[in-house]
Structures are given as C-alpha cells and as structure tokens.
Amino acid sequence: MSEAPLLKTPLNSVHRALGAKMVDFGGWDMPVQYSGIIDEHNAVRNSVGVFDVSHMGEIEIHGPEAAKLTNFVTTNNVQKLKHGQAHYSGLLYEHGGFVDDILVHKVEDDHYFLCVNASNQDKDFEHIRSHNRFRAQVDFASGRYAQIAVQGPNARATLQKLTPVDLAAIKYYWFIDGEFGGIPARIAHTGYTGEDGYEVYVTPGEAVNIWGRIVEAGAEFGIKPCGLGARNTLRLEAKMALYGHEIDASISPLEADLGWIVKLDKGDFVGRDTLVKQKESGLARKLVGFEMRGRGIGRDGYEVCLDGAPAGWVTSGGPSPTLCKNIGLCYLPVEQAVPGRSIQVVVRNQPVDAVTVETPFYKRAK
C-alpha cells in the first residue's frame, strides 16, 4: 500500500518559494526552518516573526446548549468566558489523560470556536461528538480557516498597518472579528512563543495574500518567516506544553503542572472523577524544568536518573538560544520535582549532571 500524500497548508507554495526546509510533521508538509532556527528564534524574541500555523484544526460548537457541551468536554470553566474572550483548556479521557490541549474562544452565548492540534483534530472532533447529549451542533471547521501567527515585540506595530481594529485595545487572550488586509478575519491576541503577538484566522483562499501583506508590513522591523524549529525552542523556553511530549493520553493536567486549567468546582466534566481521586490520593509524578550542568544536551525521551537510579524521562530538551544554556522538561517522582535537585540525564549511555530549576525558563518583560 502506498502512503497517503502529505497534507499541505494554503501557504505551501510560499514556503517552497522561500527555500524553506520542509519536513513531514504529523502528516503535514511543513517548514522546519528558513534562515535558521536560532536566527528565526531571535527575530521573535527581539522584533517580529511570522508563522504558518494553518495546519492547526478548528472545531465550532453552535446551539442553545453549546456552552454546556463545551464545558462538559473541557477542563477550564467556559461559563466564566465573556464574548470575545479565549482561554487555554484540556480535552480529557475519562481516565484523566489528555485527548488534546486546546484554545476555546467564546464568539457568542451559542457559539464556541476551538483551535486544536493538527494531528489530533479528527480525534478531537469524534471525542466531542461522542459526548454530545446536549442541544448543540459540532462542526469540523478546519477547511474554513487558514491561521497565521505574528509574534514578537513588533507584532502589533506590524499588524496595525493592516487593520482599522485598535489592536492595543484587545487584551491578552481576547479576540475580535473585524477587517484585516481588507477582508474579514478573526484577530486573536494569543500565541505559542512566550512573546506578545497575535494569531489571525482568514479563509484559506486569502492566506497567500495576507501572508504577503504581513511580510511587507513587517519589513521595516526585519520580520522573518519562522518554521516549526523556532516555534519549538520558543515554546520550550516559555514552558508551553507540546502534545506528544509533555502531555498525552497517559498524562493528566495535574501531573503536567497544568492544574490551573482544571476547574473542579464548575460541575461535572469528562475526566473530573479521576482528577478528584488523583488530588485526594496525591500525584506520583510531576513535570519539572532542568538545566544541564555537564557537557551534553538532554533530548526528548532521554532517561533521567536520581542518584544513579532511573527515575523519569525528558519530555522536551535542547539548547536555549535566549539563555545560551541547554534546558529541558522532565517527569520525576513528585517529591523530587522541585527546583534545586541534582539529577543525571543519560546522554549516549553516559549520565550527565543537571539540576532542576524554576520555570518558565524565559518570561518576557511586561
């Protein structure tokens, strides 16, 4: 049997014309880098970068009980959202592990817009549908949207040239539906880099035009197209979870240090009973950050030892371009998952000294 062809975003031809290095990312043909991961990373930290994130999925929930369904399948409290507000949340299985981590946007009382991970979108859609016993309709909407992320200290100045919407008036984790580059768009003050920035949703047919307009508008700031490589180093420095690494079906939000997105007091939701039991009985493991002290890089999947005995594993790790250190995240027994603990990361069969540290590794100045 021949393998299925890679999926392509509406901007695929643009990436190829720019000479991007393309990779298979969860079945999508995506740019991993253009000018280089460090160059792109630094552009976002110091000025502005633009990312094609059109591979991400979108699911829309409509109807008189849209809020009830959305609240039942997610961990955060949808009832607290106001019109035009978004929050980070989790979709869980009954056993408390992650189906996915998502962004929930409240468009109207009867309309919620979910941004979900690319490789999970079909699974997420079926999961939500399987729990729909409410007067609500669940729509798989990924084909209706392209998404472009513009991130960095000069993101707002870049985008403000293209819209009459006052971007400064959109608070962090809020969004507005308005005109952008002369077309209708959803402009969200969100991102996955630890920097200030926005994510712009447009129809797929307008993606190439809007990308070009953004690059033109950001030219005075030295805007750089950025790939998945820089997206990963940026989110790691900011300690933002990546599905398949920090979180998956075997890991709960409490273990992943994401207890803040779990609202046990909001009423019943999928996975709640398991989380209540976990909280009562205590966690066995927890996510913690570390810095390498010896020579070596703690990569994803490497074993972590405490006093020479296997105790956990690295979920994400690599060089931090901003901090000029080798950093990472790992799971350890909960009593050891505190800053200042000496650990060893097994690099090429050799234990290399490291120490657990406070996270996030990087926090932008407000």
Task: Kindly tell me if the per-residue pLDDT of 196 is higher than 90.
Answer: yes
187 with 223, same domain: the answer is: yes
Residue 142 reports pLDDT greater than 90: yes
How many domains does the chain contain in total? Answer: 3
Q: Which domain holds residue 100?
A: 57-140
257 assigned to some structural domain: no
Q: Are 92 and 231 in the same domain? A: no
Q: Do 224 and 114 belong together in one domain?
A: no
CATH number of the domain within which 222 lies: 3.30.1360.120
> Quick one: pLDDT at residue 1?
54
Percent of the chain whose predicted confidence (pLDDT) is above 90: 98
pLDDT of residue 175: 99
Give Cβ neighbours of residue 77 (< 8 Å, ≥ 6 apart). 71, 263, 266
- Report pLDDT digits (tens) over 24-81: 999 999 999 999 999 999 999 999 999 999 999 999 999 999 999 999 999 999 999 9
Alpha helices of the chain — where are they, by DSSP H? 12-17, 37-46, 66-73, 121-130, 155-160, 207-217, 228-237, 272-281
Q: Are residues 307 and 202 in the same domain?
A: no
pTM for the structure as a whole: 0.97
Same domain, 158 and 226: yes
Instruction: Look at the block and give the residue holding tokens 């999947």.
Output: 301
Domain finish residue from 85, 112, 140: 140
* Structural domain includes residue 272: no
CB atoms within 10 A of CB 268: 8
Residue 252 belongs to a domain: no
For residues 41 and 183, state if they share a domain.
Answer: yes
